[in-house]
Amino acid sequence: MKSRLSILSDSEIEAIHRSSIRILERVGALVRSPRALKLLVDAGAEVDPARKLVKVPSGLVQECLRKHTGSFTLCGRVRKNDLPIIDGRMYTHPTGGCLNVLDVKAARARTGTTRDLQDLTRVLDALENIHQSGMLIHVGDAAPQVRDIHTVAQVLRNSTKNCGLTAYGVRNLEYIVRLAAAVVGGIEELRKMPLIRCGISPTSPLELSEDVADQLVTSATYGLPVDILPCPLAGGTSPATLAGTLVQQNAEFLISHVIVQLANPANPVFYAARPFCMDMRTGVSAIGAVESGMMSAAAVQLARYYNIPSDVYGLGTNSKILDEQTAFEKAMVGLLPALAGANFLSGAGGIDSGVTYSLEQLVIDNEIFHLIFRAVRGIDVNSDTLAADLVEKIGPGGHFLGDEHTRRHYLSEHYMPTLSNRTARTEWEKVGSRDIVSAAREKAERILREHSVEPLDRDVDKEFDTILAEADKELTRSRLA
């Protein structure tokens, strides 16, 4: 295996771990769920019921870390899209939960619709370097209380890939589980074939709301893979120092992990930290900052220290349009954790600090991921690739273009981009001086014309309509009452 980028030394990883354990033992975390508190009390944690403050002994943390499962598989609706989670295998997925979509032609962002989500998801389904689908945008034409449920329904209808999601609440999660179970043939089949994985975020610093903790317990009860998503903001909701943010993030991950493992020992978990910096001039989360990429790379190392798969924010940018800032921020922030050996890189299609989604950027990010994969693969060095005999044969003043060695190696050694233009300027001008955004748009339109997604079974589709109607009736009425 090729050597990996190390942002942290072994001793620094140990120091972050020890500091996190110290915080959980001495300071603790707020856990506002009676269900989670009972699990923690029964396991030997020290709980102040009035304050809902939990102090977790190091022995319990270590015991729960030992319970973690080994390799497992995220399943697609079509089994060719299954994703075995093993060390050394890297996958990608899109940004999730955007509020807006970017209309490039009108040069503005607008609220996303169900049709937008359908088109985005169908394009994503065809992109070879984006391995998982997700809640790319929350559909603005559904009732606010149930947008997450309607969004997941559309994703499952328009993609055959595994679906990552974040539910608005534990009751919403129950409805989403019913949708996924309908696709695979029931709850017990869903345990064997996890079509969805659940992203759940503690609140920084060191707090799990009742709903967040209940979602951890509920997801684990169903045996669903859980993305534990601490989102500390350095200088705002966590220390300004990167190391301090990593310590707090790690403590938030560990308390969440303990709850998941107490609810269902060996439940699959991802170390899915999203550590960012606050831009002190604006108060905005600087997800395109190089420090974000550095902390993501460090999070990958911490995950490996615990023998837990990692999922980090790869292609992040604060840019509002598809410009040079988008390009260099995504490349920089994505490449660092990739070289560290992340299991999943997030961020495809997102711009504007993860608030806005772009169809064109989704297609461009598919190409950026291919470039990242090529960099991670590294340089193969063996007697054939060293080509010393070939250089000796060709000699000074020759060329290698027509040699069999070149024909045999150029496709595997050199990535051939589909969007980037490498022709001479005169040739580029002859075909219309097309920029990469236009090329991406044309590719997306071609996919929408030509790519068909295997439809859900007709009975499953009808069951979706029933589940959605029940959710609308219960959740829109109960929250308006």
Q: For 117-161, write each residue's pLDDT tens digit.
A: 999 999 999 999 999 999 999 999 999 999 999 999 999 999 999
Note the Cα 132 to chain centre separation in Å: 9
What region does 423 belong to: left with phi over 0, alpha with psi -120 to 50, or beta? beta
**Residue 162: pLDDT over 90:** yes
Query: What digits encode the pLDDT tens for the residues 188-240?
Result: 999 999 999 999 999 999 999 999 999 999 999 999 999 999 999 999 999 99
Query: What digits encode the pLDDT tens for the residues 435-474?
Result: 999 999 999 999 999 999 999 999 999 999 999 999 999 9
Note the Cα 406 to chain centre separation in Å: 37
Query: What digits encode the pLDDT tens for the residues 344-364?
Result: 999 999 999 999 999 999 999
**Domains, in order of start, for the chain:** 66-377 (3.20.20.480), 383-413 (no CATH)
Which of 91, 97, 162 minimizes the C-alpha distance to 130? 91
How many other CB atoms are found less than 10 A from the CB of residue 355? 16
